[in-house]
Amino acid sequence: MGTEKRGQGQGWGRHHLLCEQRHHWGNGCDWGLTLGQACVATLSPTADPGRAMKVLLLTGLGALFFAYYWDDNFDPASLHGARVLLTGVSAGIGEELAYHYARLGSHLVLTAHTEALLQQVVGNCRKLGAPKVFYIAADMASPEVPERVVQFALDKLGGLDYLVLNHLGAAPAGTRVRSSQSTRWLMQVNFLSYVQLTSSALPSLTDSKGSLVVVSSLLGRVPTSFSSPYSAAKFALDSFFSSLRRELDVQEVNVAITMCVLGLRDRASAAEGVRGITRVRAAPGPKAALAVIRGGATRASGVFYPWGSRLLCLLRSWMPHSRAWFVRQELNITTPAAA
């Protein structure tokens, strides 16, 4: 399907996603009024110079974000008939990704660790109109599993247009958070399995001129407390796929790589893992999933959701001391570090 024009898609699915986009990004006039009011206040003769600089900086960043997101060439119909392998679909953003792709008429192979939850998601996708849905239960902690998953998808779909890597794992029960055993397990699930899946799927994606979508975390760009092994895996993802993008470009291989930097996910395991440690609110799954799908379909190099995650990434390079202050505001620093 790589170079062929996809079908027109299901009208309801297209309407549904466009409505969600408008609801999420809001009214452009509201943004214009807010920026205009900020500029008027800043240019007042009585304005404090330090505060004026901060307002101007934030106003400029806001204008950049507005321009970036308002220029939207996302066509939901382009995903009708797309062959998608999606991992980590049992809950949260992965589950919402599966439902969005199903509404748009994509052909799906879904995978997750827990088969019972996986079967529920598959059933819901069929009800939502997915023409083909296959599933395979898989434990990404086992090094031999990723290649088997990709081969299953190729056998069922005849090729791949999208590889969407979304699975994650927390430290296994009974291990210390920063122990070598826990870190080794986290690296296999959250990094090495991504590399293995990519290596196995890349020939098919090359043939279809497809897209590789990597759902990562803000912790892969901005290190913070109480997450050192998990952050290490996410930083490794960012470095690996950024380098791979350069290699594919040099070799003139037409496979897009979209890195999705998300804040805290609204799933029970993620919320429980940071309970009492952070004040950050979880990102809504359906909206975050829509941002991921939009980025992959438009072959964007990066997706940041919510928008504040991009600001923190910029602060990491531009103003490291301010970055540290922002991070501290989101932490409950009275919580003792885990062993």
Distance between CA atoms of residues 176 and 339, nearest Å:
6
Residue showing tokens 């090729």:
159
β-bridge mates for residue 304, sequence order: 261
Distance between CA atoms of residues 300 and 17, nearest Å:
18
Q: Are 69 and 96 in contact (CB under 8 A)?
A: no
CB-hemisphere CA count at 13 Å for 128?
26
Active site residues: 230
Q: Are 105 and 130 in contact (CB under 8 A)?
A: yes
Residue-wise DSSP of 221-289 = TS--TT-HHHHHHHHHHHHHHHHHHHHHHHTT---EEEEEEE-SBSSHHHHHHTTTTB-PPPBPHHHHH
- Decide: helix, strand or coil at residue 46: coil
Secondary structure (H, E, C), 109-167? EEEECCHHHHHHHHHHHHHCCCCEEEEEECCCCCCCHHHHHHHHHHHHHCCCCEEEECC
Distance between CA atoms of residues 5 and 80, nearest Å:
10
Say which amino acid occupies 270: A
